[in-house]
Amino acid sequence: MKTCPIVDLGIIGYAEAYALQKRIVAARKADSIEDVFLFCEHPHVITQGRNGKREHLLVSEHVLRQKGVEFHESSRGGDITYHGPGQIVGYPILNLGAIRRDVVWYVRMLEEAMIRTTKEFQIAAKRVAGKTGIWVDAGNTEEKLGAIGVHISRWVTSHGFAYNVSTDLRFFDLIVPCGIAGSKATSLEKLLGRRIEESEVTRHLAKHLGALFGLDWKETAKKELFEKLEHAEQSVEVSA
């Protein structure tokens, strides 16, 4: 089983995390750094994927500023979504070509990791035909617990998934989540009716992701990641 660094970035702005992903992706394409898996949490932000429609943002930028919500366009797939406190965001930067060259399979595996994690808390999550992400039954409809939006270039992955643990769901009212009219979001704490430590959820996610992708995680500090990345970038510059 291949060893892969897993790094908890903590709370980090979306733009900063996006820039970091781009650097790691470039190094990974140059084969000057190994696969890396990033976990983080973002301050309030709405992002629009490359297939997104601006009309799915239901409020003006002035209202967003009043509520302290940033807005960013993104290269990921999918439409529009919200990230914020209480939500676990995972960014796998993997050479999928060395694992399995199958984009659909990759997305299904991200869903499967979230489904298995949810089952750890005795809740049945599922896929819904034609809708990416994971869902739970809510009466006569389904509510979304985890979202996915990925980007793959030369088989190197970026962006990833977002799993709602204790997210303030009112922020989803600012958008048409993932461009699906009438779609509602939910969170693990809402479903359980009790508080959950994010670290516990992250631990389960990491376990299932590792099993599904055949990766043995090596917990790595941010400082070590940045040092590796800087060394990788210098190596590329020298060889160029």
Identify the bridge partners of residue 36 per DSSP, sorted by sequence position: 93
Q: Which residue in the list 46, 152, 178, 232 is annotated as catalytic?
A: 178
With residue 236 as reference, give the H or E element that holds it: helix 222-239
Cα 98 to Cα 210: distance, rounded to the nearest angstrom: 15
Cα 236 to Cα 32: distance, rounded to the nearest angstrom: 7
40 is catalytic: no
Buried-state track 135-170, b at ≥16 Cβ within 10 A, e below 16:
bbeeeeebbbbbbbbbbbeebbbbbbbbbbbbbebe
Buried-state track 39-61, b at ≥16 Cβ within 10 A, e below 16:
bbbbebbbbbbeebeeebbeeee
Cite the active site residues: 178
